Structure 1
Amino acid sequence: MGKSRFFRNGLILGSVFMILLIIIYWDAVGAAHFYLHTTISRSQASRPPPISRSMPKHEAVDNKDNSIPSGSDAFLKFLEGTSEPRQKTRDDNTPAAFGNASTAAGKPEDKDTSEDKKKRQDDRKQLMHDLCSINSTLDFPGKSRTFNDIPSRELDHLIVDDRHGIIYCYVPKVACSHWKRVMIVLSETLLDNGVPYRDPMDVPLEQVHEIKVHLTLNKFSRRLRKVKLKNYTKFLFVRDPFVRLISAYRDKLATANEDFYRRFSTVMLKRYGNYSNPPASVVDAFRSGIQPSFSHFIQYLLDPKTEKQRPFNEHWKQVYRLCHPCQIKYDFIGKLETVDEDAEHLLRILQVDNIIHFPPSYNNRTTSSWQQYWFSSIPYESTRKLYKLYEPDYKFFGYPKPEKLLQDL
């Protein structure tokens, strides 16, 4: 009887110990093993072989079997670089590939062009670094907080590709649909009849913005977030802040978008359009010629009541609030105004230009030349207040202050 009770107690203690080990392991590794090489598919077909491509040098040397260590400590050491590093880095923790873009993918590139592109990136990153320093006169909410101070929900715009070691902070109205398509193809997180998409433009639009399709940084443990940010290549694309606002208005409020009409347009119409009871649906509203004007939209952005009720929508939220440039050291900063050239340069640096190309840019994008027209109905004082609201984005990314819009001539 005594031996039986001793055996039973030992079995219980052993089971409890194993459960604790599993909990500790899962907390350390986060969702990495679940998401790594995991795909979302409408088919249960077996996974096909990977897309044929030349393996980057750091994968061929440092991870010969293309596998991830099974233990949590080994996995973290693998990423942290305490065992075999993912890729060699320079002293400033910037991936070595950034030091020589012309040879990153093993393809020749004009020397002067390569040096010009590298200098452009160096200047953009240095500007952001200078403005984030404590000596900078630029002040804005959240400037002095640390990465640990950022709530997990605010890291949902950082898309992670574990297959290639890439983190992309997407900014709506800055070609983010195209870049999300690229990330889906690279990470193989979406299948069509068991086969990963190879052409970004083949990915269905309704799937591109599905939250479950993308692996975002907030889905990992705090420790893994820091490990990935240290070792992965991080990039974002930006555009002129006022032009981005015009694009957001045209796309979400000036077109028949039911969701945005119910959530935002009705609020604007009630507050600033003298419609105490606007039509219930966007179809009825547009049929009656009722929709918020661009002036109503600007009033909404400047109204203190707006963010007291809910944070800005991602389509007009400031980039510094979406991507946290003072807490995350980005390796590449692209601009929509030079998206084709910047995209080509980035894909070469990432060593994936031999397997994927950035989709052609839009031919009818909202342009800077339209600003004078759209802001002609906005009072100068409101335009000045709006500039102050988006001033960090102007300065962070080197966009000139829109002097003509701010001066009452």
Structure 2
Amino acid sequence: MGTSRMFRIFVVLGSAFMILLIIFYWDDVGASHLYLNTPVSPGPKIPHPQPQQRTQTSRTPSFLSDIDAFVNQFLEPGTGEPTDAVPAETSNQSDKAEERYIPRREWKIHLTPVAAELRERQEQRRKLLQEMCANDSVVFPGKNRSFDDIPNKELDHLIVDDRHGIIYCYVPKVACSNWKRIMIILSESLLHDGVPQRDPLAISRDLVHNSSMHFTFNKFWKRYGKFARHLMKVKLKKYTKFIFVRDPFVRLISAYRNKFEMRNEDFYRRFAQVMLRRYANQPTPPASVDEAFTVGIHPSFSHFIQYLLDPQTEKEMPFNEHWRQVYRLCHPCQIQYDFVGHLETAEEDAEHLLRQLRVDNVVEFPTSHRNLTASSWETDWFSTVPIEARKELYKLYEPDFRLFGYDKPDSILNE
């Protein structure tokens, strides 16, 4: 009994000693250690070594962690002007994650505000969208349906970046490859040597267009189940939503050049062979694109327009995304976009947008002048298309012209 009692006394005294030691240590060292590691400015943070090797793609967050990130860490994007107070956190990204592996470039200091003309440009574009959506003279399928009535599959072009609170609706043939690269970098879904990729041009086209690299609205159902639509609406309300568009007829020319004047086996088999059989008097077109190009056979631009106007085309399947109307891809009357970029002003618009999102210190938009289609070429391209077909084509794409402020191409329609 005596030994047991002495042991209990020893345990109590030892515990008291450890408590006193912890208290003294905290008073002398703990508080200062805490403040030494608390950032006092939003400047660059020193990356710390990784305790474990990361896999090549970032782990998909769980349902609860994603909800927590959204509710607790969401930051309303600022205007990007020097008068804005810069918070310690400039994204949804956690401080620990940033300290581990994100070496930020030197923080940019904007000495001047965003040009008034750029702000006015955006205001006019957003206002035009609202007016056209409320204008009864602008009629197109699905215009007046609610967001809940849009099938999930039709929301597959809305890419979400929860880390920065951004939603991008991509439109093929409107610099979407480079904007997808930007979204991959911001979402940190691609790693290079264990750290997030930071160079847009280092991301290959195969990865850019790999659907697994992007979290879209169409994937919400698998992740969130019955909460999917509710979370879509919450994020549409809170996040910054942007879209880039271009002149609809020029976009069609660009799609034709890229998919039918270049060797593309998939588009040849799915579309070119159909056009050749129906409109080019080729009942048995070559079996492959290489064979077709060897003998100089491919559908003309006029055949392509015939295909778009043929009622049988949409009966068989919806328009391919490369020539589907923007109003069908991005639902501008159901989604109030915060930023509307035009390819014709891409350089100014991209800089303005990245600055508004406060990510211009993280990534720059890679400009490219490769294989551009100029608006001035429209007359030449449509010279082989009959006038009546041109007018029918305009009716097909008129909503895009009017929604996004592109002039009616009278020189093409009235020749």
User: Per the shorter chain, which TM-score range?
Assistant: 0.7 to 0.9
Task: Name the structure 1 match of 2:414.
Answer: 407
* TM superposition shift of 1:110: 3.9
Secondary structure of 2:274's match?
helix
Q: What TM-score comes out, normalization by structure 2 length?
A: 0.76
Secondary structure of 1:159's match?
strand
1:369 aligns with 2:376: yes
Q: What TM-score comes out, normalization by structure 1 length?
A: 0.77
1:168 aligns with 2:156: no
Q: Which moved more, 1:274-283 or 1:186-195?
A: 186-195
Q: Is the Cα–Cα contact under 8 Å of residues 102 and 114 in structure 1 kept in the other structure?
A: no
Q: Which among 107, 115, 121 is matched to residue 109 of structure 2? A: 107
Task: Name the structure 2 match of 1:86.
Answer: 74
Task: Name the structure 2 match of 1:288.
Answer: 295
Q: Is the Cα–Cα contact under 8 Å of residues 285 and 292 in structure 2 kept in the other structure?
A: yes
Q: How does 1:7-406 map to 2 (within 5 A)?
A: 45-46=53-54, 70=64, 75=67, 79=70, 86-88=74-76, 97-98=78-79, 101=81, 103=83, 107-108=109-110, 110-111=112-113, 114-133=115-134, 135-220=135-220, 221-406=228-413
1:174-203 CA deviation, whole Å, 9 max, x = no partner?
Answer: 000000001111101112342211100011
Secondary structure of 1:201's match?
helix
* TM superposition shift of 1:102: 5.5
Counterpart-to-counterpart distance in 2, 1:290 and 1:365: 24
Q: 1:156 to 1:376 in 2, by over 3 A?
A: same
Secondary structure of 2:191's match?
strand
Task: Name the structure 1 match of 2:13.
Answer: none
One-letter amino acid of the counterpart of residue 178, structure 2 = H
Counterpart-to-counterpart distance in 2, 1:382 and 1:286: 27
Q: Is the Cα–Cα contact under 8 Å of residues 47 and 195 in structure 1 kept in the other structure?
A: no
* TM superposition shift of 1:70: 4.5
Unmatched 5+ residue regions in structure 1?
A: 1-43, 51-66, 89-94
Secondary structure of 2:241's match?
strand
One-letter amino acid of the counterpart of residue 107, structure 1 = I
* TM superposition shift of 1:219: 1.4
1:89-127 CA deviation, whole Å, 9 max, x = no partner?
Answer: xxxxxx5x24x655567733545x521111100000000
Q: Is the Cα–Cα contact under 8 Å of residues 81 and 112 in structure 2 kept in the other structure?
A: no
Q: 1:282 to 1:68 in 2, by over 3 A?
A: closer
Q: 1:389 to 1:69 in 2, by over 3 A?
A: closer
Secondary structure of 2:115's match?
helix
Counterpart-to-counterpart distance in 2, 1:370 and 1:101: 39
One-letter amino acid of the counterpart of residue 108, structure 1 = H
One-letter amino acid of the counterpart of residue 133, structure 2 = C
* TM superposition shift of 1:389: 0.4
Counterpart-to-counterpart distance in 2, 1:247 and 1:68: 40
Secondary structure of 1:333's match?
strand
* TM superposition shift of 1:68: 10
Counterpart-to-counterpart distance in 2, 1:137 and 1:101: 39
**Count of residues in Structure 1 that have an aligned counterpart in Structure 2:** 332
- Greater CA radius of gyration, 1 or 2? 2
Q: CA RMSD in A?
A: 2.3
Q: 1:338 to 1:71 in 2, by over 3 A?
A: closer
Q: Is the Cα–Cα contact under 8 Å of residues 81 and 110 in structure 2 kept in the other structure?
A: no
Identity %, equivalent residues: 58
Counterpart-to-counterpart distance in 2, 1:85 and 1:206: 32
Q: Is the Cα–Cα contact under 8 Å of residues 160 and 167 in structure 1 kept in the other structure?
A: yes
Q: Is the Cα–Cα contact under 8 Å of residues 247 and 401 in structure 2 kept in the other structure?
A: yes
Counterpart-to-counterpart distance in 2, 1:209 and 1:199: 16
* TM superposition shift of 1:86: 2.8
Q: 1:68 to 1:306 in 2, by over 3 A?
A: closer
Q: 1:287 to 1:118 in 2, by over 3 A?
A: same
Secondary structure of 1:343's match?
helix
Secondary structure of 1:392's match?
helix
Q: 1:69 to 1:378 in 2, by over 3 A?
A: closer
Counterpart-to-counterpart distance in 2, 1:177 and 1:152: 23
Q: 1:193 to 1:270 in 2, by over 3 A?
A: same
